[in-house]
Structure 1
Amino acid sequence: MTIMARLLVFNIARFIVLLMLQVFLFKNIGYYNLATPFPYILFILLLPVGMSNFMLYCLAFVMGISVDAFYDTLGVNAAASAALAWARIAFIRITLQTDHYENYMTPLWGNVPFRWFFLYTVLLTLIHHSVLFMVEAFSFHQFHYTLIRILLSCIFTVVIIMLFSLLFYRRKQR
């Protein structure tokens, strides 16, 4: 099986598994509506580095709108996922020298240094959650409550993403 075919199968399986986990498990987990995990964003974070921007935006939108269909949130997750795709493009362009990596490489812990992966996860999760909760609130009324929701949900999501990454960690192949 070629690398591209294997990558396609992994990404389809990752899409389905993360969507189902988000909808059937993590939708019901939360802390008094203050900390809500959204680990479905791991699908967008782990797409290959060399993927075209158009395809990245399309896949992010499809993942977001799929979550919206189950959450009845009318495009809030789709908007946040599109913002995440935009931030991912900018972050990778600024921090990663893509000529050192293959186009099909996924930015997974083990393929990139831990410090880079952790910063990548925290910053992009913070951007996603900021857009998500600000669009959901659509007001600066009770801004402190929205800010607390953003920070606590970001911490919760990053912990879950790091646990998933640790679970599927493989040493860099030399």
Structure 2
Amino acid sequence: MTSSTLTNIRNFVLLAIVQVLIFSHIHLFGYATAYIYLIFLLKLPRHTSTNALMLWGFLFGLAVDIFGDTPGMNTAAATAVGFARNTFLATFTHKGLPDDFVPGVKSIKWGGYLVYALMCILLFYIILFLLELFTISNFVPLLISIASSTLLTMLFVVVAECFSFRK
């Protein structure tokens, strides 16, 4: 195995443990929940295939679903993010970047990175909460949950990016 594969596996295990033991149990004001494991999908290199992204998303979602007693909702939402991530990345980056760059502030600047991350996270929460509620009859609470969870997760993405940007 290459060192990048071992690093990915290590990061996967650490983020999954932190997500399951800490972040899955935090529900601010009954609406906002941060799923920080999305940072892993956001930070994989550009050349990562859609199939590999979907597999990583599936595995993360499955781990959270198993330990969080949510039957397949995280798996479906994270797999969808894996499917759409490269499209979002191509939309919000310029064409002159090398094929092996890692998405982040260093490579695509704050504006592009924030819009890219926001689109991935928003897609995740729309799918997750629609699957959870399985109805749009409670439209306002649905929108509040999607917006607040997206903003909370974006806050953690920005904090993580600030720490990695300083390295």
Partner SS, residue 131 of structure 1: helix
Q: What residue is the counterpart of 1:41 in the other structure?
A: 38
Q: How many residues align?
A: 167
Identity of aligned residues (%): 28
Task: Return 5+ residue gaps in structure 1 as ranges.
Answer: none
Deviating runs (4+, > 6 A) in structure 1?
none
Deviation string 1:94-121 (CA, Å, 9 cap, x unpaired) is: 3334652132x22122232111111111
Alpha-carbon shift at residue 170 of structure 1 (Å): 4.1
- Correspondence for 1:140: 136
More helix by share: 2
Alpha-carbon RMSD across the aligned residues, in angstroms, is 1.7
Map 1:56-135; keep pairs closer than 5 Å.
56-97=53-94, 100-103=97-100, 105-135=101-131
The TM-score normalised by the length of structure 2 is: 0.92
Pairing 1:29–2:21 present: no
Q: Encode CA deviations 1:135-160: one digit per residue, 9 max, x unaligned.
A: 11001121111110000010001001
Paired with 2:49 and 2:85, the residues of 1 have a C-alpha distance of 12
> Counterparts of 1:86 and 1:98 in 2: how far apart (Å)?
20
How much has 1:33 moved relative to structure 2?
2.1
Query: 1:85 and 1:22 mapped to 2: Cα distance?
Result: 18
